[in-house]
């Protein structure tokens, strides 16, 4: 900047003194010495004057504008353009500053609009999903109040149906809470070392009733050595429950769900594979979105909230991992994810030696 003001002052002073000397040289009586002296005087005085004006009025002002812009930009942590002030024209720097500021603002407005659209869509989805179980339960209760309560058989049947709808509502609200807490970062992962095979056995005990009802055979790969992972036990339990439950839900009666592992140096991959309905190619990219269901009609009576895979995705992202899928309609689906291997405790190693 100083360099620029100096160059400009030099240029202006030179022009002024050349013009003054040119005029003076027109006088017939003027000597060469007087011309040189007047050139030197006009050059130095105009140089000082111009320099002072530029430095203290013009450039000072520009510097303060630029500094103000700088402050605004750094406060917003926006990407700051390169600012080798000495080398660049200050006016161009201001222009660039304003441009970058405007671009940041534009980006923020676009993000806010996107968030607003997301919020509106979320509220619409939630209201729609809540409506189904509430309306169903409401219908059964009103029918009972309208007289059906007198008939013992109808009463029990309708109360059971109302209870089922309310149970569904409870699961939906819990899932919604989990999703919203995960999206706002409220849920933190608490990694610990645990035996993944043992944990999956517990999941299978829990879903056993569902599998039996649909005559689904669940096969869990048996491992000769204990397999420990470093992960959040509760959350991975949830992931496995969702994947295995889906495997059961979307399998034909009498189908099979297989769970197996693949170990690498530092990771283990857990697979959940079924030979069920499969997922059409055009839906695969969307099944992890909240409330996305492949084909509403085929999901009828399966009791899902449409949030299971979205929760799975969030949990695995919280483990710096991701959920992957391969599926073919009518053939089956395979879901898998990686986890970091954990430390096998001493007592497990001792047990092994005993064997
Ligand atoms: P839902 O509660 O409806 O099961 P999810 O988020 O768990 O919701 O799954 C989203 C959709 O992906 C399901 O509605 C289903 O259409 C499809 N899907 C999930 N898992 C499977 C699977 N193993 N086989 C076939 N389709 C599946």
Note whether 96 and 62 are within 8 A (CB).
no
Give the pLDDT of residue 192: 97
**Contact residues for 216 (Cβ-Cβ < 8 A; gap 6+):** 210, 247, 248, 251, 253, 254, 255, 256, 257
Extract the tokens encoding 349: 């190693």
Residue among 211, 256, 279 to mutate when testing ligand 1 (max atoms within 8 A of CB): 279
H or E, element range at 132: helix 90-145
**pTM over the 0.75 mark:** no
Give the pLDDT of residue 310: 93
Q: What separation in Å is there between the alpha carbon of 63 and the centre of ligand 1? A: 60
Closest approach atom of ligand 1 to CA 277: 25
Which residue's CA is the closest to the ligand 1 atom numbered 12? Answer: 287
Using CB distances shorter than 6 Å, the residues near ligand 1 are 242, 246-247, 250, 274, 276-279, 287, 292-294, 299, 304-310, 333
Give the pLDDT of residue 3: 54
Would you give the distance in Å from CA 253 to the centre of its chain? Answer: 38
Give the pLDDT of residue 100: 82
**DSSP strand E in the chain: where?**
191-195, 217-220, 228-232, 256-263, 267-274, 323-328, 332-341
Which residue's CA is the closest to the ligand 1 atom numbered 3? Answer: 306
Closest CA to 134 of 168, 174, 158: 168
Give the pLDDT of residue 83: 47
Residue among 132, 171, 293 to mutate when testing ligand 1 (max atoms within 8 A of CB): 293
Closest CA to 81 of 60, 104, 62, 58: 104
Instruction: Provide the Cα torsion 83, 85, 86, 90; round to 10°.
Output: 130
> Beta strand 256-263 with 217-220: parallel, antiparallel or unpaired?
parallel
Q: What separation in Å is there between the alpha carbon of 287 and the centre of ligand 1? A: 7
Which residue's CA is the closest to the ligand 1 atom numbered 21? Answer: 246
Q: What separation in Å is there between the alpha carbon of 250 and the centre of ligand 1? A: 7
Give the pLDDT of residue 296: 63
10-residue averages of pLDDT along the chain (355 residues): 71 90 86 88 90 77 74 57 51 74 87 88 86 92 89 90 92 89 84 97 95 95 94 96 95 95 95 96 92 73 80 95 96 97 87 56
Helix 233-249 vs helix 196-213: crossing angle, to nearest 10 = 30
Cα–Cα distance measured from residue 150 to residue 204, given in angstroms and rounded to the nearest whole number: 41
Cα–Cα distance measured from residue 160 to residue 63, given in angstroms and rounded to the nearest whole number: 76
Cα–Cα distance measured from residue 91 to residue 8, given in angstroms and rounded to the nearest whole number: 14
Residue among 216, 290, 309 to mutate when testing ligand 1 (max atoms within 8 A of CB): 309
Instruction: Return the residue matching tokens 């898998």.
Output: 336
Which residue's CA is the closest to the ligand 1 atom numbered 25? Answer: 278
Q: What separation in Å is there between the alpha carbon of 84 and the centre of ligand 1? A: 55
Residue among 128, 250, 301 to mutate when testing ligand 1 (max atoms within 8 A of CB): 250
Closest approach atom of ligand 1 to CA 304: 2
Cα–Cα distance measured from residue 123 to residue 121, given in angstroms and rounded to the nearest whole number: 6
* DSSP-derived secondary structure letter, 300: T
Closest approach atom of ligand 1 to CA 247: 23
Distances 233 to 36, 99, 339 between C-alpha atoms, Å: 91, 49, 12
**Contact residues for 84 (Cβ-Cβ < 8 A; gap 6+):** none
């Amino acid at each position: 900047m100083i360099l620029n003001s100096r160059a400009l002052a030099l240029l202006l002073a030179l022009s002024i003194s050349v013009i003054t000397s040119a005029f003076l040289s027109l006088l017939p009586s003027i000597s060469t010495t007087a011309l040189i002296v007047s050139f030197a005087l006009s050059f130095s005085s105009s140089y000082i004057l111009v320099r002072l004006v530029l430095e203290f009025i013009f450039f000072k002002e520009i510097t303060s504008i630029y500094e103000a812009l700088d402050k605004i930009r750094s406060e917003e942590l926006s990407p700051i353009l390169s600012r080798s002030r000495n080398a660049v024209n200050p006016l161009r720097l201001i222009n660039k500053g304003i441009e970058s500021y405007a671009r940041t603002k534009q980006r923020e407005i676009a993000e806010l609009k996107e968030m607003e659209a997301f919020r509106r869509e979320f509220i619409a989805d939630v209201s729609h999903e809540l409506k189904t179980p509430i309306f169903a339960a409401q219908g059964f209760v009103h029918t009972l109040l309208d007289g059906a309560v007198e008939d013992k058989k109808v009463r029990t049947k309708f109360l059971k149906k109302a209870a089922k709808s309310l149970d569904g509502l409870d699961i939906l609200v819990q899932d919604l809470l989990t999703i919203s807490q995960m999206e706002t970062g409220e849920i933190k992962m608490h990694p610990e070392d645990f035996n993944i095979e043992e944990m999956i056995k517990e999941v299978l005990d829990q879903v056993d009733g569902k599998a039996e009802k649909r005559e689904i055979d669940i096969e869990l790969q048996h491992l000769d050595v204990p397999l420990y992972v470093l992960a959040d036990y509760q959350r991975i339990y949830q992931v496995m429950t969702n994947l295995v439950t889906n495997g059961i839900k979307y399998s034909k009666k009498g189908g099979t769900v297989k769970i197996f592992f693949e170990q690498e140096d530092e990771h283990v991959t857990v697979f959940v594979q079924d030979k069920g309905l499969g997922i059409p190619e055009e839906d695969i990219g969307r099944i992890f979105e909240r409330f996305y269901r492949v084909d509403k009609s085929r999901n009828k009576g399966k009791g899902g909230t449409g949030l299971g895979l979205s929760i799975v995705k969030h949990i695995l992202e919280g483990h710096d991992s991701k959920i992957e899928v391969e599926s073919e309609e009518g053939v089956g689906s395979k879901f898998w994810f990686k986890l970091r291997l954990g430390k096998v405790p001493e007592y497990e190693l001792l047990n092994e030696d005993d064997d």
